[in-house]
Amino acid sequence: MNVIQKLFRSSLGKKTIMAITGILLFGFVIVHMLGNLQIFLGADVINTYAAFLKSKPALLWVARIGLLVLVGLHIGSAVQLSRQNRAARPIPYGDAKHPGASYASRTMLMSGLIVLAFIIYHLLHFTVAVPGVNLLGASAQLPNGDFLQLKDATGHQDVFRMLVLGFSNVWVSGFYIVGMALLCMHLSHGISSLFQSLGIRQHFCGQCLDRLAMLLAAIIFIGNSSIPIAILLGYGR
Amino acid sequence: MNLTLKVWRQKSANSPGRFQDHTARNVMPDMSFLEMLDVVNEELAERGEEPIAFDSDCREGICGACSLVINGIPHGGNAGTATCQLHMRHFHDGQTITIEPWRARAFPPVKDLVVDRSAFDRIIQSGGFVSVNTGGTPDANALPIPKVDQELAMDAAACIGCGACVAACKNASAMLFVAAKVQHLALLPQGKVEANRRVLSMVEAMDAEGFGACSVTGSCEAVCPKQISLDFISRMNRDYLKA
């Protein structure tokens, strides 16, 4: 059997794809969070960082397409595996209990789908910056309601003010925090279970992996949610 | 004590099943769960009703024949024991107990609480063996095996193939069973020779039987009467990727 067949045909192969794409996507989430946290270093720092990223369009697009492929493989495998899993128990239990299974581990598909909905909104909100989705309307601070027209003194796009304005809406911030909570739950199971799928769990202590996953997931939640929370509490306004 | 049993009754594979209430009277705390069912069945037979069909054989936790999902948990929820080793002292007077069969597409119903677990046999037939002529028993120290590997192989070989892992898994996955059967051979020199071929064909057979995939929830490990570790699944995943 060749490698491609093994990866895409068997349930174990699909789990391997989930694990590898999962690690890479988690890596992106970490880098993305560190980039975002520069908001606490002031407007200049984060605006210069954003301008630096935008100044390398080739690199930016390679990263974007790469992420799209990773997300596609992750979701594609998840959908196939979920269908196989559903089909494996046609008659449900009358009295279903789940000994030893955490809530997060049983709801990976649902938490994943909610995170996907969040990511789509997030892209429309800040990346494509569709004026209609920011729920702010046109104001003196934001002509046409368009984030991309915000410029700072040096002519760079003003990401700092975009975030401050964007998160000044309680509903938008609330959805971001909910999205991060679901991502946190997804990662709290995903990070430890990928060790299993890649076949290296036996070299670690299982409980330590579970705790490590919870710690990393909590760091992602606190780090990312701190931005809308800080802005709602008045930071940058 | 007296108990109400909510039991899954199903005449045959093709007829629809449903829960039916039965009463277990004068149950002694020292009875095993299966003995309690035997008493209920005697009463049913005396009244001319159809007894409850369930699997059992050795009744000492080593054969893997007994099953039953009791109050939502395969083998009833006592760590490291099978249904036959579950005693009625864990229940109280007046309690209602739900009893269901293993539920999985790969384990089609036969009657009442009995399901057809021959999918496991077909997985074993696909590679869960060692193809050498055994001859006479070798000398004990003729083939040195590291202590750690011996112990691990014995832990995996403790699997009695009851199918509780499948019954407990939200995906009805057979990964813990297959991993145990792959690993107890792969860890020993006699089994290493065919390790690659074995893991590939046993995983293929497992998928073909219609079991689900592993979501690493840990339910299988929690209900396993032989407490087989999730680590064996990880070892099988590694062997599969390497093969």
Instruction: Quote the tokens at residue A100.
Output: 């030893």
Tell me whether residue A173 is in a domain: yes
Could you give the ipTM of this predicted complex? 0.89
C-alpha separations of B238 from A79, A162, B179, B182, B198 in Å: 23, 47, 11, 12, 13
With CB atoms and an 8 Å threshold, state whether B103 touches A93. yes
Q: Which domain holds residue B80?
A: 3-110
Query: What pLDDT shows up at residue B132?
Result: 79
Domain CATH number, residue A206: 1.20.1300
Q: Is the dihedral of CA B165, B166, B168, B172 positive or negative?
A: positive
Domain check: are B22 and B50 in the same one?
yes
pLDDT in tens, B175-200: 999 999 999 999 998 899 999 999 99
Domain check: are B128 and B228 in the same one?
yes
| Least confident residue range of A145-159, B24-38, B81-95, B163-177 | A145-159
| Least confident residue range of A150-159, A209-218, B17-26, B224-233 | A150-159
Q: Which of B8, B100, B151, B171 would best serve as a mutation to test chain A binding (most A beta carbons within 10 A)?
A: B171
Instruction: Quote the tokens at residue A8.
Output: 């895409």
Query: What pLDDT shows up at residue A1?
Result: 58
Number of domains comprising chain A: 1
Separation of CA B132 from chain center: 28
Domain CATH number, residue B39: 3.10.20.30
Q: What percent of chain B has pLDDT over 70?
A: 100
Q: What is the mean pLDDT of residues B93-116?
A: 96
Query: What pLDDT shows up at residue A91?
Result: 92
Tell me whether residue A15 is in a domain: yes
Tell me whether residue A237 is in a domain: no
Tell me whether residue A80 is in a domain: yes
- Assess whether pLDDT exceeds 80 at residue B168: yes
Can you list the residues of chain A whose pLDDT is less than 70? 1, 138, 140
With CB atoms and an 8 Å threshold, state whether A199 touches B236. yes
Query: What pLDDT shows up at residue B240?
Result: 94
User: Among all residues of chain A, which has the CA nearest to that of B172?
Assistant: A88
Distance CA B3, CA A199 (A): 46
Domain check: are B82 and B176 in the same one?
no
C-alpha separations of B82 from A13, B25, B86, B102 in Å: 32, 23, 7, 13
CB hemisphere CA count around A93 (13 angstroms): 25
The DSSP result for A154-173, as a single string, is TSSB-HHHHHHHHTTSHHHH
Number of domains comprising chain B: 2
Query: What pLDDT shows up at residue A96?
Result: 87
Domain check: are B234 and B128 in the same one?
yes
Q: What is the mean pLDDT of residues B12-24?
A: 94
With CB atoms and an 8 Å threshold, state whether B212 touches A12. no
- Assess whether pLDDT exceeds 80 at residue B92: yes
Distance CA B139, CA A81 (A): 47
Tell me whether residue A151 is in a domain: yes
Smallest CA–CA distance, residue B66 to chain A, in Å, is 18
Domain check: are B128 and B80 in the same one?
no
Cα radius of gyration rounded to whole Å, chain B: 20
Q: Please, which residues bridge with residue B69 across strands?
A: B74, B100
With CB atoms and an 8 Å threshold, state whether B104 touches A89. yes
Domain check: are B169 and B232 in the same one?
yes
Domain CATH number, residue B153: 1.10.1060.10
Q: Which domain holds residue A17?
A: 3-89+103-232
With CB atoms and an 8 Å threshold, state whether B172 touches A100. no
Domain check: are B124 and B233 in the same one?
yes
Query: What pLDDT shows up at residue A134?
Result: 83
Tell me whether residue A160 is in a domain: yes
Contact of A111 with chain B, judged by CB distance below 8 Å, is answered with no
Domain check: are B88 and B168 in the same one?
no
